[in-house]
Chains A and B, each alone.
Chain A
Amino acid sequence: MDSRRLPRTVIDPKVRLVGFFTSGDPPPARFNPNTADATAATAAAISSSSQNSDINLTGNSLSPVMIPPLRRMSPRRCDEMQMPIGSYNPSESLLGTSPSRRGINGPDFSEVATSAWLGISGSMKAAASFPGSSGEMMMVGKNGGNALVKNMDTTELAAKTVPGVTEKDGGTLTDMKNEGAGTVRHQKQMTTRAERRAIQEAQRASKAAAMMDEKDGGTRTDIKNEGAGTVRHQKQTTTKAERRAIQEAQRASKAVTMMDGKGGKSIASTGGGAPSISNQEKVLKQSQKKDGPQETGATSEKKVSRNPDKDRKKDIPQPRMQFDDKNRVEKAKRRAVVNQFEARNRVELFRHLPQYEHGPQLPYLESKFFHLDNIHPSVYKVGLKYLSGTITGGNARCQEMLLAFREAIIDYSTPPEKVLVRDLTSKIGSYVSFLIECRPLSVSMGNAIRFLKNRVAKLHHNVSESEAKSRLISDVDRFINEKIIVADQIIVQHAVTKIRDGDVLLIYGYSTVVEMILLHAHEQGKQFRVMVVDSRPKLEGKILLRKLVMKGLSCTYTHINAISYVMHEVKCVFLGASAILSNGTVFSRVGTACIAMVAHAFRVPVLICCEAYKFHERVQLDSICSNELGNPDVISNVPGKEDVNHLANWADHKNLQLLNLFYDATPSDYVSMIVTEHGMVPPTSVPVIVREYGKDQFIF
């Protein structure tokens, strides 16, 4: 398993305290300036905040809890970077895609390979640059429409040729490239979506860039990008003043580009940036008020560069509600069915996540039982179960939700003068928002909802109601069957091959699929021992332990504190996952990252068992931006031990904040293998699965 990767040094634990992902940590000597910069430049323009983070890691090992700190680059490199960035002319932006083409056709391939191989992050960089560059092209496309088309064709070509290489080569690199090309192809299919994503990516990159130095080339390109983004989105802006400001910005930037032509890239970029700054000064003030402490240290310049994306948040549909945004929270509260009370003493870094007082939620929702007429009883029931914690675990939650929707569809009848497709979609939407109020959705549920909505939307208008319903019901059944039940069976079959006689397996928490694997291996007569590692406050491992012991497996039970000791004798680590993101990051029960890191340090292979429907194309670098906060009381109380309840009235202490995180992100470095129903794949192949199978999953 280990031979799969190049040997890499174990990363200094200081650098990655909180679930930070991509390691990379490529030694500066190996940093090939030419190739790296070419890729880095395009990457910096759009996404690839991963790149930022690893440059940070190489540069200075600051506190990893904070958002990536300042990025230092030599001025020489800045100059170099400007070249591909500033020229937003399609022929040059081809440069971004050209390496892949070259790589496929000619002997240059090996060179690209090395460039992409600069540690794992190097390959990530190369991968990230491809969608990035194409996204850029989309934006440039406004100016040169036919050039764009040409561009798309070339990338398309690359996309078509690469899969073949993948088959032969089987390497990570080609996989990654494949991803890049694939995204391009994907974008071609639905241009509007691609545009949106490109802009989102730009936004993300700019966010990361906001932390960089002003002089840095990356920031400048970002600002330019902002310009492009705002231009594209001017139709969606709401208030008059905003619209005018953006128009002015656009006009100014256009004028500047016309004047200077190719030579004045840098001016153009600032020209694009400046007006957007001017119109966002209001926002700046707001943001100063709102922003958490991690930003107080930032200089005003950084804020300026950060502002544009603050403003554009209004234009672009936000992927996730930020709960530190007071206006939005107020709005959401008015809409909410469940009356929730914000918890006190919240941890500042996690203010953007919803956190409520856990006491009054359930009684309130229960007393409202008969008032919520528009919510189907079965959906309500599932919501209650989420809220009370009766159902936990990605599979169970998703399955219950789908079954509830199935019931709702069975009972559904189209109201007069309404169209089934639209009405049912809105109904499902209202159910989903109710469920979100009970508990934030998991990735698996999000995927399932997307699937269901897609199926509803795909229904033809002249299909009769009963026919439509029966089709949807069978779709739901099939989803549950194929994506969960059968998938689990296949995963079990795959994973069992990795268990040999005399093995000591370590498991953490409670994953249903891991349980199935162990039981299946036991049924096959394999002789192995299981280390059940558990952690407070959920102590889910106990339930699993009980089941395993009852089946006659020999187990050891320990808590996560003892992990470094027990890891000595472990042969293999089996972990479940809540989600796997397309950069290979494993999103799972908090503590999983710790286990994986320790296992990695001890050179113990880590197998993540996860159904492919939990894969998501999103990229996440840390466990901060998206997570779930649990009831803080449960970590302060130790049940059955009255003498250690020192934190009894913790809410009264102003300077005490308790943090009960649900999930953490395990960087793909620490994952040896992901076991899915599509086989055992390295974490770098996740995007391939997302692309190749995700498409089928949602469109069929």
Chain B
Amino acid sequence: MDFQVVVMAGGYSKNLVPLVSQEMPKPLLPVANRPVLSYVLELLEASNLKDLIVVVEGEDVALRVGGWISGAYVDRLHVEVAAVPEEVGTAGALRAVAHHLTAKDILVVSGDLVSDVPPGAVAATHRRLDAAVTALLCITPVSGPSESVSSVGKDKGRKLPRANIVGLDHTRQYLLHVAAGAEVGKDIKIQKSILRANDQMEIRADLMDAHMYAFQRTILQEVLDQKEMFHSIKHDVFPYLVRTQLRSEISDKGAPKNGLNGVDYTLNGSEPASEILTNRTHKCCAYIANKSKYCSRLNSVQAFCDINRDVVGEAGHLSGYSFSAQNNIVHPSAELGSKTTVGPQCMLDEGSKLGDKCSVKRSVIGRHCRIGSNVKIFNSVVMNHVTIEDGCFIQGSVICNNAQLQERVVLKDCQVGAGYVLTVGSEYKSEPLSKK
């Protein structure tokens, strides 16, 4: 279909600081005990997209990611892992792989996307509307994670993500305005020319940019070449294209001209009324995913917890595991002590051992963890090879690989970095804990 896919896998993300480490870069962070990147790759694979370019920040990360991909997808996908220097941004990363891009359109997908929105839908919308860029927009869940979580009190300190402002035309196909949440002050400025050209604009704050873009290659490359300052696709390239849709300096030579022998076809019989008036140089479109689709990005610690919970919970079909009758996933090799309960929407992976009288609710526990007796784990993510001794109480926390929790540790909303050791009886609340 003349599409090429670039997956922006990222590297060490600053937002996820206690979670990511040398051994555990962002693309490999486990979501339901599978690297987050695998969700994107499998989504693409399900859409019959098998030739991928995965762009990773940093050489060593690239090695790790490449190793993992070649192991996991050896005969399923044809993946090219490209390493780019850190801090070049997504735009820089695209520049770095520009020489690989030959197809008519490019699909740029963020590697931290966990979604079941078919990429084909975005691509098809892109093609159908002859767009220069098409973005996948998802409806932001209004109350965040489910209510039972907030009743635990986990969401109290959480800042509401600042809303993205998106302006759409009345057909909800064309993007007229975008402003990232962080840039929005008290007022938003909308270009008069765009507003005038469209008669009306629908401003929405409930849409989230899922970082899946379909670009026309020629336009994308021209922007990247012309604007060397552009750092990020989301913050620079995409808003630029939307802003300049009426008066871009980008010549539209990428679009195939229909004229033959100087005869210019007028196919305007079919165009909707708004289009007759707007003399767009290029079109910026949006594909708004259906509400029933799951779509989320792992770009913060909070998102990491939410996604983990959702993937074993309400968006269970994404995890690829089959749920038991109790609506949880317990690996057959996991050992449970007496009177230990594993509630619904939980996951317990292979080789993990739980002592007696433990209680696990809405949590994900990785491989080969050793958990003592009388341990309560609620709403938490425990990665691989973690040791938790007797009497610990863990709520809303993330415990990374090889961490050790000694007896009677109480954690609430904490992130424990890899290999960190918590001493006997310590109590923490809302703190990132990691080796300095």
Seen from chain A, the residues whose Cβ lies within 8 Å of a Cβ on chain B are 363, 365-373, 377, 380-381, 384-385, 388, 390-393, 395-397, 399-400, 403, 407, 477, 480-481, 485, 510, 512, 515, 542-543, 546-547
Contacts and interface: CB of A to CB of B under 8 A. Distances in A.
B299 interface: no
How big is the B interface, by class?
A: 20 to 34
A481 B1 contact: no
Given A363-B290, A407-B256, A543-B276, A370 B127 contact: no
A481 B260 contact: yes
Interface stretch (B18-26, B115-123, B333-341): B115-123
Q: Which of B47, B124, B129 has the most CB of A within 10 A?
A: B124
Given A392-B270, A512-B266, A543-B272, 18 more contacts: A366-B118, A366-B120, A367-B118, A369-B123, A370-B119, A384-B124, A384-B128, A390-B128, A390-B272, A391-B270, A393-B269, A396-B269, A477-B261, A481-B261, A481-B263, A510-B269, A515-B269, A542-B273
Contacts of A365: 124
B288 to A, nearest CB: 11
B146 interface: no
Interface string B270-314: 111100100000000000001000000000000000000000000
Contact of B48 (A373, A399, A510, A547): A373
A377 B276 contact: no
B270 A393 contact: yes
A368 B49 CA distance: 11
A512 B271 CA distance: 12
A371 to B, nearest CB: 5
Interface string B252-263: 000010101101
B17 to A, nearest CB: 36
Interface in B96-140: 104, 118-121, 123-125, 127-129
B2 interface: yes
B120 A368 contact: yes
Contacts of B263: 481, 485
A197 to B, nearest CB: 34
8 contacts: A366-B120, A369-B119, A369-B120, A373-B1, A384-B127, A390-B128, A480-B260, A543-B276
B40 to A, nearest CB: 14
Contacts of A366: 118, 120-121, 124-125, 128
A392 to B, nearest CB: 5
Q: Which of A366, A380, A392, A481 has the most CB of B within 10 A?
A: A366
Shortest Cβ-Cβ A-B pairs, 6 listed: A369-B120, A366-B124, A367-B118, A512-B269, A384-B128, A366-B121
Contacts of A396: 267, 269-270
Contacts of B290: 363
Contacts of A370: 1, 3, 47-49, 119-120, 123
Contacts of A380: 1, 124, 127
Contact of B267 (A367, A400, A543): A400
Nearest to B44: A370
A371 B48 contact: yes
Contacts of A392: 269-270
B324 to A, nearest CB: 30
Given A370-B3, A380-B127, A546 B276 contact: yes
Contacts of A385: 128, 270
Contacts of B48: 370-371, 373
Nearest to A407: B256
B266 to A, nearest CB: 8
A390 B118 CA distance: 22
A400 B266 CA distance: 11
Contacts of A542: 273
Contacts of A391: 267, 270
A363 B47 contact: no
B88 to A, nearest CB: 29
A128 B124 CA distance: 48
A366 B1 CA distance: 12
Interface in B56-75: none
A141 B267 CA distance: 50
Given A377-B127, A380-B127, A407-B256, A369 B1 contact: yes
A143 B253 CA distance: 67
Contacts of B261: 477, 481
Contacts of B256: 407
Contact of A381 (B120, B127, B258): B127
A609 to B, nearest CB: 13
Contacts of A397: 270
